[in-house]
Structure 1
Amino acid sequence: MTTNGTRELLASLQLADSAFPSGFYTLSHGLEGFAQAKAVDADSLPALLEDLLRHGIGPSDATALALAHRAASAGDTDLLVAVEQRLFASKLSGEQRVASTRTGRQLLDLAREVYGGTALDEYARLLAARRVPGCQPVVAGIAYAAAGVATERAVVSDLFAVAASFVGAALRLRLTDHRVAQVLLHRAGPVIEEVAADALVRDLADLGGCVPMVDVMAGRHERAEARLFAT
């Protein structure tokens, strides 16, 4: 592996690491709502994760990340703004919008410190001017580009980070144990590969997922008397 390849791999590992303080640890990606409704158990966890990746995260967040990465690399500010506006509009629940922008702004602040670069600084100016709300997938796309990570690896890395975050939430909600969690993550590998391939060729007009039950559970979760996670 070349030096540049090694650096790209290291950067992708760092950004996808659960120890990277992007705020993912505060999210269950809808899982807590399902758990509160007793609509998920250890046996149905894999199917829920796969559906979330295929029909939710893939068409929305992963697609936005891929488009934002290309826009940042090309210096296309108009496309960047359009991607973010469409992504933000596709998030139907208030807690999903708040969580995405909160983690996005946290990621932006840290990425500027760690990686620097004109693209991140330009995005910060767009955010300060309120032209963009600061959604995490868009910021992630710019951060991966700034770190020299190619689009495909960036999308795959972030999808894995989401899957790992989901599994981590399942552990904290006592829906699984550490050994089974690793089996679940491994099983998600082919789905991540499939979802990433689709996200890489999807156009802006096709950005947006559709998982109605996740939206229903998000609405219930917003009104829950006690919550462990932000989503």
Structure 2
Amino acid sequence: MDASLLTLLQLSDSAFPSGGFSHSLGLESAIQHSLVGTKGNLQDFIVASMENAGSFGLPFVHDAYNEGDNVSKVKDMDDLCEACLSNHIAKKASIRQGNSFIDSASRIFHDKQLETLSSSLNHRHFAVVFGVTYRILGFSLDNVMTSFMFSTLRTLTSSAVRLDRIGPIEAQQIQYSLQSSIPDIIARNLDMLSEDASISFPVPDTLQNAHGLLFSKLFFS
């Protein structure tokens, strides 16, 4: 049996304490602002959010993976991600989730390199620590980027269930339908560097920024 496959499945499991369970990536705000009221609206929002994860998150994942053995360069990427995230809600969510992910991984896998890296970074943004953690644990770049996009899609569909927009069967149908777009998103953003990271669809980003103004909320972002 392939031990690396089992570890990859463990990291991708929703039970892995990566912090994603606390975030809806702006979906809760979109629903409360009446911009996601139908299944079609929901799918459009998920697609736009996945595109943003591809154009903004993947360049940091890619670069952090490639520079995983150079703590100084990873630290610079973490600082760059801090500067590029103008959305204060997304910034807090990225730091919160990044801290949860790398702290959990270092404690679960007892990896000294992860512990050293965690203590060296100023912010621990999620996309950065995601890329370098998978590198340290020995996964291929293709597996890393696929897992990052899968986690984005899974977070959005599970959030939609918890927000009572769709049921669990519908969520899995949407996930099955949209995960086929992941290879294309990766291919279109494969050559982008962290300096090229950008938001492709501003509406989900703007809605997430308004999350802090909600009177009542289930998620942190």
Please give the range of the TM-score, normalised by the shorter of the 2 chains: over 0.9
1:107 aligns with 2:101: yes
Alpha carbons of structure 1 residues 79 and 200: separation in structure 2 relative to 1, 3 Å: farther
Structure 2 CA distance for aligned equivalents of residues 204 and 220 of structure 1: 26
Alpha-carbon displacement from aligned partner over 1:166-212 (angstroms, at most 9, x marks no partner): 00000011111111111110111222111122333212321232332
CA contact (8 A) 1:144 1:154 kept: yes
Over 3 Å counting, the alpha-carbon distance change for 1:202 and 1:96 in structure 2 is same
1:226 aligns with 2:220: no
- Contact 1:68 1:142 (C-alpha < 8 Å) held by counterparts: yes
SS at match of 1:209: coil
Q: CA deviation at 1:124?
A: 2.0
The answer on 1:121 being equivalent to 2:115 is yes
Whether the 8 Å CA contact 2:60–2:128 is kept in 1: the answer is yes
Aligned to 2:182: 192
Indicate if the aligned counterparts of 2:62 and 2:193 stay in contact, CA closer than 8 A: no
Quickly say closer, same or farther: Cα 1:184–1:106, change in 2 above 3 A.
same
SS, match of residue 188 in structure 1: helix
SS of the residue aligned with 2:67? helix
Aligned counterparts of 1:209 and 1:119: Cα–Cα separation in 2: 31
Contact 1:33 1:218 in 2 (8 A): yes
Per the alignment, residue 14 of structure 1 pairs with: 10
Give, in angstroms, the shift of residue 117 of structure 1.
Answer: 3.3
1:158 aligns with 2:148: yes
State how far apart, in whole Å, the 2-side matches of 1:100 and 1:224 are. 19
Code of the aligned partner of 1:51: A
| Aligned-partner SS, 1:170 | helix
- Aligned residue number for residue 66 of structure 1: 62
- TM-score between both structures, scaled by the size of structure 1: 0.88
Q: 1:125 & 1:76 partners in 2: Cα distance?
A: 14
Mean Cα deviation higher: 103-112 or 116-125 = 116-125
Give, in whole Å, the separation in 2 of the partners of 1:103 and 1:204.
19
Residue identity (%): 23
1:142 matched to 2:132: yes
The answer to whether the 8 Å contact 2:60/2:193 transfers is no
Equivalent residue letter for 1:34: A
Q: In the alignment, does 2:207 pair up with 1:211?
A: no
Aligned residues: 220
Aligned to 1:25: 21
Question: Hey, which bits of structure 1, 4+ residues long, moved more than 4 A?
Answer: none
2: CA distance, partners of 1:21 / 1:110:
6
Q: Distance between the aligned counterparts of 1:178 and 1:33, measured in 2? A: 21
Offset, 1:154: 1.0
Contiguous gaps of at least 5 residues in structure 1: none
